[in-house]
Amino acid sequence: MNFSTGMKWITGIAEGFLAIPIIGGAFVISSGYSALGVMFVLHAITLLLSIRERQGRFASILGLVTSVVSFVPLIGWLFHLLTAGALFISAIMSKRSSA
């Protein structure tokens, strides 16, 4: 497994956690919204690794957008859910293409 695939799994799990209704929102609010900043950095790192390893970039770009718009409650939940799914699909697809 290459680094970008591993980061997609990690960020996908984190996004999935943030998509859990009430629990994810409470975590973001209790962190003073710094969780969104951390996720932005992790998605940026994943994007750079994906570019370097010539893997899919869409999910990481969606993650960056999600980190920016997630302060809006229902929009944030939807974007976290979509991003988690996109990251998981991208990780599975990149695993297959590198085999």
Q: What is the pLDDT of residue 98?
A: 57
d(CA 28, CA 48): 25
Neighbours of 33 (CB within 10 A): 11
- Domain span at residue 42 reads 3-97
pTM of the predicted protein model: 0.91
Residues with Cβ within 8 Å of 35's Cβ and at least 6 positions away in sequence, in order, are: 18, 27, 28
In whole angstroms, how far apart are CA 29 and each of 36, 38, 57?
A: 10, 14, 28
Q: What is the pLDDT of residue 73?
A: 85
In whole angstroms, how far apart are CA 14 and each of 67, 88, 96?
A: 12, 11, 22
d(CA 90, CA 49): 13
* Per-residue pLDDT reduced to its tens digit, 11-52: 999 999 999 999 999 999 999 999 999 999 999 999 999 999
What does the pLDDT average to over 72-95? Answer: 92
What does the pLDDT average to over 57-86? Answer: 94
Nearest alpha carbon to residue 8 among 73, 77, 58, 70: 58
Count up the domains in the chain and report the number: 1
Tokens for 32, please give them: 């003073």
